[in-house]
Amino acid sequence: MKNIKDTFFDRGFISPIKALDTSTANEIKNEYINFYENISTVREKIEHKSKSHLLFKWANEILFEENILRVVKEVLGQNVVAWNSLIFMKPPKSKKYVSFHQDQNYWKIKMDKGLTVQIALSSSTKENGCLQILPGSHKQDYSHLDKKDTNNLLARGQEVQLTENEKNNLQKIILNPGEFCIFHGNIVHGSNINISDDYRVLFSIRYLTPDNKIDEKLYYNYATKVCGVDEFKYFKEEPNLDKDSPKLCSNFHNQLISKQAETYSKLYLKKFSFLSFLTKLKFVRNLIYLFREYKGQAKI
């Protein structure tokens, strides 16, 4: 019988694996939905969904969850950092979807040196738009088109064209609350709309080995060391909700996200890119998100 590592590199994913009690996952989901329903600005609705472990104690704790790290270490080895964490939420009866794409050609990380853990805080079903994965597709690079669509949960709307045969081979990742899947940084994945009456709340963590260098022209390169040692120091250290104050972590989060927004706005503004410094202001970012929603473009 194959071990976890061989199975992972052969198929490109493993699912389902248990991480949290159902009751713990439900509590987190309820806390999160309560938070989400009380947000008043578009900016806040968007920005809390990246680097979420700097904002939510539950998210930071999941980064270090032993049941998850045991599997991650089997695949990546003993030295691991968490570079990003993202909340992929679809409200009931929502048209939000994720176009089929590969992640790591955007991040520019080394082959077989990064993976995503996606943990279900709600149940994840065919009806609510569970994750779908194309088995074995991590072994090949697909070309992507950037399609702007306000309902696409991806930043730039990157999308690969799948053949009919590939569409038929897509595997639905059905998860109960508290279960997770791991998938390769280069695997083709995406998800459909939510036709159910319930929220779909999935939380993705990008675990990388510390010898990776993130493309700093496009992304932040701060990370949290979750186990082992980092002898490379390519990633800069970030504050942590376990030892630093929520205020400090949220100010830091704001700096990272505003820098990221500045980077993206430079790409959009082209010859007016000198204006991108304005994205440091929260109300300017709010206006940009509103404008992009209005124009039917994708979100951060």
Ligand X SMILES: O=C(O)CCC(=O)C(=O)O
**300: its two tokens:** 């951060």
Distance (Å, rounded) from C-alpha 232 to C-alpha 208? 13
Which residue in 122, 123, 191, 260 binds ligand X (CB under 6 A)? 191
If binding is defined by CB under 6 A, does position 103 make contact with ligand X?
A: yes
Minimum CB distance to ligand X smaller for 69 or for 154:
154
If binding is defined by CB under 6 A, does position 128 make contact with ligand X?
A: no
Which residue in 68, 202, 249, 284 binds ligand X (CB under 6 A)? 202
Q: What is the DSSP letter of 60?
A: H
Contacts to ligand X from residues 218-257, by CB under 6 A:
none
Which of 88, 46, 57 has its CA nearest to residue 183? 88
Minimum CB distance to ligand X smaller for 41 or for 297:
297
CB of 55 to ligand X, least distance (A): 18
Minimum CB distance to ligand X smaller for 191 or for 209:
191
CA quadruple 81, 21, 187, 7: dihedral sign: positive
**225: its two tokens:** 């060391």
If binding is defined by CB under 6 A, does position 189 make contact with ligand X?
A: yes
CA dist list (Å): 107 to 87, 206, 257? 18, 11, 16
CB of 191 to ligand X, least distance (A): 3
Which of 204, 237, 241 has its CA nearest to residue 222? 237
The answer to whether the CB of 251 falls within 8 A of the CB of 55 is no
Task: Compute how many residues bind ligand X; rule: CB under 6 A.
Answer: 10
If binding is defined by CB under 6 A, does position 131 make contact with ligand X?
A: yes
CB of 244 to ligand X, least distance (A): 26
* Cα diameter, the chain: 58
Minimum CB distance to ligand X smaller for 118 or for 186:
118
* Angle (CA) 117 29 107, round 5°: 30
If binding is defined by CB under 6 A, does position 180 make contact with ligand X?
A: no
State whether residue 68 is helix, strand or coil: helix
Distance (Å, rounded) from C-alpha 131 to C-alpha 97? 10
Which of 101, 96, 296 has its CA nearest to residue 200? 96
If binding is defined by CB under 6 A, does position 98 make contact with ligand X?
A: yes
If binding is defined by CB under 6 A, does position 118 make contact with ligand X?
A: yes
Which residue in 88, 180, 207, 235 binds ligand X (CB under 6 A)? 88
If binding is defined by CB under 6 A, does position 116 make contact with ligand X?
A: yes
If binding is defined by CB under 6 A, does position 204 make contact with ligand X?
A: yes
Distance (Å, rounded) from C-alpha 104 to C-alpha 187? 9
If binding is defined by CB under 6 A, does position 104 make contact with ligand X?
A: no
If binding is defined by CB under 6 A, does position 63 make contact with ligand X?
A: no
Binding site for ligand X (CB under 6 A): 88, 98, 103, 116, 118, 131, 189, 191, 202, 204
